[in-house]
């Protein structure tokens, strides 16, 4: 068991090399050990469309894989997609034992790979529920959520002063956080396959929503540039085509505009088609778009989004939290104090009268950079706010 544990830890380390590159696929690492107990092959899924981790590791092991053990973070696939099924390659390589960290979360294929290998006479070991398994699951939390809910994993990023303000009462906000912290935002953008914002934010900040300062090779940033999904409920943006958002830039992905039924028009649709922008028309109650339906649309089809990063103002942030549509919340706090009750708040949710009715969060991590910014990483408590109302925290 100790050898199995250590090799699976190594596979997890290898899987992390695919961070920000593999969506909508998961990050996966693999290690091949021969009959003498020597590591003879290693691999990871490098980017979407590339060979799977098992294929890379088995190719490196070559004939030494015969009779050996394969350690892989995710149950090997048994279906053809961008690449052939990994189970076929495992059988062809002569592997006799497979240890995998977590089952495939896709309900359509879960267990299929392990079953196929076991039926072929291999010893197949599913790792028990312990800290290592939870670490493997956490690495692909967005992929797991997207598979099981058919909606994207939503990362809401907020930046505020220590008294929870995002801008002065006049709207001035540059800069609350430091250059180093803002570079982290670009890294999160690169790790997501979609960015959600609003026309109000785009117009106020002339935001391009591109990946610029991420610690990734420029070619990879251009190849994996996230989709930009903009809520334009009232159909205002297409009269502002000089905005940075609409400038050609390889660091920015495709643009999809989301308009309400009250403001959708043949002219708007024709302009989207003419410029190559995607268009989603959603029910509109006169104030808000149907965000739950938006998540269902974005999480379905061949171009489905796995992780959606939200960069917007307090209103949209509050709506997403109230409706239980946020899975991860990152709050970046700058070393500033505004002390103004009229300054812009970090988020506006439904009012509550008791503390135990507030949105419950689980703190996962907190760290301070050498620039004095504090970053707190939270997860929303499972099941909270699913009916549009805050639940009592437990």
Structure tokens, 258: 């989301």
CB 17 within 8 A of CB 1: no
DSSP of 35-67, one letter per residue? TTS-EEEEEE--STTSPPHHHHHHHHHGGGGTT
Q: Are strands 344-345 and 165-167 parallel, antiparallel or unpaired?
A: antiparallel
| CA separation for the pair 316, 258 (Å, rounded) | 14
Cβ density class 354-375: b for 16+ within 10 Å, e for less: eeeeebbbeeeeeeeeeeebeb
The CA-based diameter of the chain, rounded to the nearest angstrom, is 70
Compute the C-alpha angle 40/114/69, nearest 5°. Answer: 20
Structure tokens, 34: 């021969």
**Of these residues, 54, 75, 191, 311, which one is catalytic?**
54
DSSP of 147-162, one letter per residue? HHHSSPEEEEEEEE-T
Structure tokens, 213: 């300062």
Active site residue 54: yes
CB 287 within 8 A of CB 173: no
Q: Name the one residue in this structure whose structure tokens are 């072929």.
A: 120
Name the region of 223 (left: φ>0; alpha: ψ -120 to 50; beta: rest): alpha
Contacts of 6 (CB under 8 A, 6+ apart): none
Q: Is 344 helix (H, G, I), strand (E, B) or coil?
A: strand
| CA separation for the pair 308, 35 (Å, rounded) | 44
* Burial status of residue 233 (CB atoms within 10 A of its CB: 0-12, 13-18, 19 or more): buried
Q: Which of 79, 70, 125 is nearest to 102 (CA)?
A: 125
| CA separation for the pair 274, 255 (Å, rounded) | 13
| Residues classed as catalytic | 54
């Amino acid at each position: 068991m100790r050898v199995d544990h250590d090799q699976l830890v190594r596979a997890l380390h290898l899987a992390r090399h695919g961070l920000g590159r593999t969506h909508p696929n998961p990050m996966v690492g693999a290690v091949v050990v021969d009959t003498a107990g020597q590591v003879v092959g290693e691999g990871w899924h490098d980017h979407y469309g590339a060979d799977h981790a098992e294929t890379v590791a088995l190719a490196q092991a070559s004939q030494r894989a015969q009779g050996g053990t394969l350690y892989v973070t995710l149950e090997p696939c048994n279906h053809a997609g961008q690449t052939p099924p990994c189970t076929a390659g495992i059988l062809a390589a002569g592997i006799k034992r497979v240890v995998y960290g977590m089952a495939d979360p896709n309900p359509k294929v879960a267990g299929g790979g392990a079953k196929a290998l076991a039926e072929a006479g291999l010893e197949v070991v599913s790792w028990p529920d312990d800290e290592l398994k939870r670490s493997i699951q956490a690495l692909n939390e967005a992929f797991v959520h997207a598979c099981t809910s058919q909606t994207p994993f939503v990362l809401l990023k907020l930046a505020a002063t220590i008294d929870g303000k995002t801008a002065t009462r006049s709207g001035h906000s540059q800069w609350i956080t430091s250059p180093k912290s803002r570079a982290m935002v670009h890294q999160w953008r690169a790790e997501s396959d979609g960015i959600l914002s609003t026309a109000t934010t785009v117009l106020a900040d002339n935001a391009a929503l591109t990946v610029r300062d991420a610690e990734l090779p420029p070619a990879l940033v251009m190849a994996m540039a996230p989709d930009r999904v903009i809520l334009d409920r009232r159909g205002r943006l297409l009269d502002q085509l000089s905005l940075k958002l609409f400038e050609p830039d390889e660091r920015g992905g495709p643009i999809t505009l989301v308009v309400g039924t009250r403001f959708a028009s043949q002219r708007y649709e024709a302009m989207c088609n003419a410029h190559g922008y995607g268009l989603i028309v959603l029910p509109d109650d006169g104030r808000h778009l149907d965000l739950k339906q938006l998540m269902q649309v974005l999480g379905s089809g061949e171009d489905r989004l796995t992780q959606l990063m939200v960069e917007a103002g307090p209103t949209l942030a509050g709506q997403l939290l109230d409706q239980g549509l946020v899975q991860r919340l990152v709050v970046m706090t700058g070393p500033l104090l505004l002390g103004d009750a009229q300054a812009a708040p970090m988020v506006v949710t439904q009012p509550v009268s008791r503390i135990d009715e507030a949105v419950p969060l689980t703190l996962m991590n907190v760290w301070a950079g050498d620039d004095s910014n504090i970053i707190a990483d939270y997860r929303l408590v499972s099941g909270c706010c699913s009916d549009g109302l805050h639940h009592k925290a437990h």
